[in-house]
């Protein structure tokens, strides 16, 4: 394990730069993206693309491992769990860097055999780090945390590459359930880097900024 600990601001800037470079993020105000909720927005992120770019993948997983150790502690965990499905490769890569066992958590029981939600070996009393690709409002994280805690293990931390950073209730929602969120960058970091690179026209960036400042109002106006 050979990790460095850049300043948080540098990690955020470089993460945003890499996501733009591999086209994991896109802005389009003229033809907004439809989200899983059915609502629309001018921003899109697909962190699954990271696994196909070895240099970006390695750097971001180094950043994630370093961020977790700096913020939570160097001996804070006994197990790393990836959330199905996007969190599974990231969980494995972070576990490798931390020198810890890796497991993964299903979204729901598989419906046959042991009907398990936890795959791999997770034991009572283990301190588990939940790893995923991103979080918006934190809802799916709490479902995974509940599954982990049902084994008798504890889960007080979740780490993601990307956090939307535009729904202020997210961090508190997780904290109310005893979970601390760790992340590398947000939409604000991506917007700043996109402006620095002139990656999109200013009209598009202005629309994105309006959305980030008040997503619900923007969605209502662009329904």
Mean pLDDT of the chain: 93
Give the pairing type, strands 40-41 and 33-34: antiparallel
Q: Which of the two residues, 25 and 40, has the higher pLDDT score? A: 25
pLDDT of residue 175: 94
Q: Is it the case that residue 113 has pLDDT exceeding 70?
A: no
**Tens of pLDDT, residues 173-192:** 999 999 999 999 999 999 99
d(CA 68, CA 74): 8
Average pLDDT over residues 155-181: 93
pLDDT of residue 4: 76
Average pLDDT over residues 139-156: 93
**Tens of pLDDT, residues 52-109:** 999 999 999 999 999 999 999 999 999 999 999 999 999 999 999 999 999 999 998 8
pLDDT of residue 37: 65
Percent of the chain with pLDDT over 70: 96
Domain regions of the chain by residue span: 8-217
Q: Is it the case that residue 110 has pLDDT exceeding 80?
A: no
**Nearest CA-CA partner of 139 in 114, 90, 86, 176:** 176
Q: Which two tokens stand for residue 140?
A: 């799916």
pLDDT of residue 111: 66
34-52 per-residue burial string, b: 16 or more CB within 10 A, e: under 16: eeeeebebbbebbbebbbe
Average pLDDT over residues 163-181: 92
Domain 8-217 belongs in CATH node 3.40.50.300: no
Give the pairing type, strands 154-163 and 127-135: parallel
Q: Is it the case that residue 112 has pLDDT exceeding 70?
A: no
pLDDT of residue 44: 94
d(CA 81, CA 70): 19
Residue-by-residue DSSP string for 26-56:
EE-SSSPEEPTTS-EESEEE-GGGGGG-HHH
Average pLDDT over residues 163-179: 91
């Amino acid at each position: 394990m050979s990790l460095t600990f850049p300043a948080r601001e540098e990690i955020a800037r470089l993460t945003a730069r890499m996501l733009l470079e591999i086209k994991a993020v896109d802005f389009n105000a003229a033809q907004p993206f439809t989200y899983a909720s059915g609502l629309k927005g001018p921003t899109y992120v697909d962190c699954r693309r990271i696994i196909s770019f070895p240099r970006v993948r390695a750097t971001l997983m180094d950043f994630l491992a370093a961020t977790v150790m700096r913020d939570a502690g160097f001996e804070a965990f006994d197990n790393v769990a990836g959330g199905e499905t996007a969190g599974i490769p990231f969980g494995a890569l972070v576990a490798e860097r931390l020198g810890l066992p890796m497991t993964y958590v299903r979204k729901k029981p598989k419906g046959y055999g042991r009907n398990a939600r936890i795959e791999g070996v997770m034991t009572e009393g283990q301190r588990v780090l939940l790893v995923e690709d991103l979080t918006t409002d934190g809802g799916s994280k709490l479902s995974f945390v509940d599954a982990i805690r049902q084994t008798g293990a504890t889960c007080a931390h979740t780490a993601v590459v990307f956090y939307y950073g535009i729904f202020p209730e997210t961090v508190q929602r997780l904290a109310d359930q005893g979970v601390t969120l760790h992340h590398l960058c947000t939409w604000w970091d991506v917007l700043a880097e996109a402006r620095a690179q002139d990656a999109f026209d200013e009209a598009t960036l202005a629309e994105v900024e309006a959305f980030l400042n008040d997503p619900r109002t923007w969605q209502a106006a662009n329904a």
